[in-house]
Amino acid sequence: MKPVRTLAEALGAGALVLDGGLSNQLEAQGCDLSDALWSARLLADGPEQIEAAHAAYVRAGARVLITSSYQATFEGFARRGVDREAAARLLARSVELARAAAVEVGEEVWVAGSVGPYGAMLADGSEYRGRYGLSVRELEAFHRPRIEALAAAEPDVLALETVPDATEAEALLRAVEGCGVPVWLSYTVEGGRTRAGQDLAEAFAVAAGNDRVVAVGVNCCEPAEAGPAVELAVAVTGKPAVVYPNSGERWDARARGWRGGVAFDPARAADWATAGARLIGGCCRVGPATISALAADAGGGAG
């Protein structure tokens, strides 16, 4: 069942807690994600696992669930022999699974349809570099079919997330025109700039004045980047901010393991909310226990 209020109405009443990393929760449930489709493979092979992962975050206090469609694309599914009709059904299933997981709490839970960057489809790490050598028009053409399929499943919002550069952000905002669903725009950043090295203020400005965009911010970044980015996003766009950084650990591709310590401090959620964040959660390696603590520090997460 869809919430009574729109997400924009809820944001006007206060901060909402997002979920954490879907992949780490699936791995905690025993799922093997060593696949180019990553968690999207389970839309076909283990949908019950995805629903269970969403439910774990709802029980932890998340009131916005991000779907498992981050790496789900027509192109990626086609490489596995999945035709376009079947792929569209799998994209719709990502929304249905999140919606189903929300039922048990008896409270308003919003569903965000994840639209990952072009580089996520390539599965080669280029989502953290951007600058794919494609034009805005070419990127728009890539994103539009998936956006249309997700929008048809009626999520409450589309999460244009982990965007590495402003060129792709512009393409995404063009691709969502006419889709009938509000969106948030979230960059992945490093050193106070987009991963492509662009000025972050200029990148946020792409969304300024766009009424379809309900929030702007950052995700899949170091926790230390979160506070300054929230302040800048609000200052540049006048919109609520969205923020969901990683745990602070770093992936060592050569050793295929995580390195470093956890730097995500749920107590900082109150500071982010004071600065204008209205969607607050975690990304990679942030699990239900941390979201539970974050929900408590953010006043329960309900607007």
Instruction: List pLDDT tens digits, range 171-205.
Output: 999 999 999 999 999 999 999 999 999 999 999 99
Which residues have C-beta within 8 Å of that of residue 122, sequence separation ≥ 6? none
Distance CA(291)–CA(266), nearest Å, equals 8
Helix (H, G, I), strand (E, B), or coil: what is residue 18? Answer: strand
Provide the pLDDT for residue 197: 97
For residue 129, which amino acid is it? R
Provide the pLDDT for residue 302: 38
Where b means 16+ CB within 10 Å and e means fewer, 122-156 reads beeebbbebbbeeebeebbebbbbbbbbbbebebb
CA dihedral (142, 200, 248, 109) in degrees, to 10, reads -60
Provide the pLDDT for residue 299: 54
Among candidate residues 176, 120, 178, the one with its CA nearest the CA of residue 143: 176
Counting as low any pLDDT under 50, the low residues of the chain are: 300-303
Instruction: List pLDDT tens digits, range 262-274.
Output: 999 999 999 999 9
Provide the pLDDT for residue 237: 98
Provide the pLDDT for residue 261: 86
Provide the pLDDT for residue 227: 97
Provide the pLDDT for residue 292: 97
